[in-house]
Structures are given as structure tokens and as C-alpha cells.
Structure 1
Amino acid sequence: MPVHHATEQTFPPSALFASSADVALTSTPSSAANARRVVVAMVPENRELADRGQLLLSEAVTNVVAHTDSKLVRVFLSIDDHSGALLCGVFDTCARVPGLSGKPQDILAPVDEATEVAESGRGLALIDSLSDAWGFAKVSDGKWLWFNLFPQSQPEA
């Protein structure tokens, strides 16, 4: 899946959808759980979308808490009323771009033998594999990591 790099003008979107949430959290270990609750409140009728959203948002928020000195984690969520897609964004005040080394070319660096057994470091790989699109936007006071999730077709009963 290609990485889509957003620009400062594209995230957060200037035109908000009818259903959106913008939540500021302190950067603490409980931030991920608080962010998961927001996802469930946004899409209570679509368990599959809520599950993917919770997992990926939790990974993104945990990355901020564990790997930056940002005191603030801002979570932005919106639902596209036409497609049902969930747009998620996580803001932090660290200017370093997401990736293993902070270099754009290393965003999806291959997993080597040392990292295959690591207990962490797979957040962006999960976001890449489970989202429909993702990227990041550098802004004057930090960056946004964002991803889109489209609802999976529901099995017929």
C-alpha cells in the first residue's frame, strides 16, 4: 500500500464532516485507552470498523507517549457520511517524522532478524497493513499521523 504524504493544508481537514471529534489528551500511558473510547463512541454500529480503529489509534497514540517528549496528544476523528469511512489523526509536538530512524525513507523499513522478536516497533507496519491509506503532515508546531479506514462489506444474513 502506498504511503500518502499529506501537506499542512490537508490535515486536519478544513471542512469537517457531520460526525467528528477533536480531543486533546495528556501524553500518559492511559491516553491510548481514552482514544479507544472515542473511536467506539464514533462508530458504535460498526464493530469491525471500531475494532480496526481502536487498534490503529492505540498504536499511534502509544507511539507518541513512548517515543516523543510531547506533553500533548491530540486525536481527531471524523466519519464520512457518504462512504462511512473513518478518518483518524494523531498530533504530537515532535517534529521527527514517523519511522524507525525518523527519516522518510525508513518509514516502512524491512523487519530484520533483531526486530522480528522485539516486543515493540510494529505500530506503523500495522497501520500500513490495516488502513486503507495513511501518511503524515508536518505542521509548524509538530506533526499529524493520519489514516483512513473504510468499512468492510458486511456479510449477508
Structure 2
Amino acid sequence: MLTDQGSVLLDKDGKRKHTRPTFSGQQIFALEKTFEQTKYLAGPERARLAYSLGMTESQVKVWFQNRRTKWRKKHAAEMATAKKKQDSETERLKGASENEEEDDDYNKPLDPNSDDEKITQLLQKHKSSGSLHLHTSENESSS
């Protein structure tokens, strides 16, 4: 016996065996629209929706249970993705602020007599990055 909500078959012992119901596009559309408005249906709402769609209350109830599970999983995955994105942005900003603190050293005047170690570190840092351009009074006078 076949119905539009699924089929009822007999197993090898002659017992009724239920298969998964197949819902029409119209039924799924109506269920999804209802789910967008409310994630939970009370008894009377479920009964009205089931009647209007030609489904049993049990089918509507199970559909909503399954749809909530799917929605929670998707929502949890989106939250995890957003958290990872936020964490990486926080790390990026943290790294940028650490670099700004290091850059503060460049803005302070150096004392050639007492800041030898600092001068050496700054020179090594710039030498490795290739961004050091020295302009001394000797270079300027010979140019």
C-alpha cells in the first residue's frame, strides 16, 4: 500500500514495515517557513499545520525535532567559525600592538655613549630587513 507520505511494506514475516516518509516540496516549504517564525510548535499549532499539509501530528513533530537538531549544529559551527576569526583578529592586533611598542624605541633619541647595545640591535634588525638607509653628515657632505 503506497501513500503520499511514505509507503507501508510488509517484511518477510508479513509484519508492517514503515519506510521514511517523502514530503512534497510544498510541505517542506511550509514547514521551513513555519520553522523560520518559531522553532517550537505547541500542540494546537502542530495539529493545525499537520492538518493543513495533509501530514500526521507525529510527522510534523519529528520533522521539527530533526530540523532543530540541524539548526543547532549549523549555529554551533557558525559560532565556532566566528570565534576562530575573532581569536585570529585578536592575535593579529596583539602582534601589531607589540610591534608598536617596539617601534617606540625608534622614536626615542639615542645616546651614542650609553646606548651602544640598543644601537647594535636596531642596526641588526634593519640590516636583516634591508630597510636601513643611513644618512650621516659625512655621506651628505661627500654627495
Question: TM-score interval w.r.t. the shorter chain?
Answer: under 0.3
Higher strand content, 1 or 2: 1
Greater RCO, 1 or 2 (C-alpha within 8 Å, sep 6+): 1
* TM, length-normalised to structure 1: 0.24
Q: TM-score, normalised by structure 2?
A: 0.25
Structure showing the higher helix proportion among its residues: 2
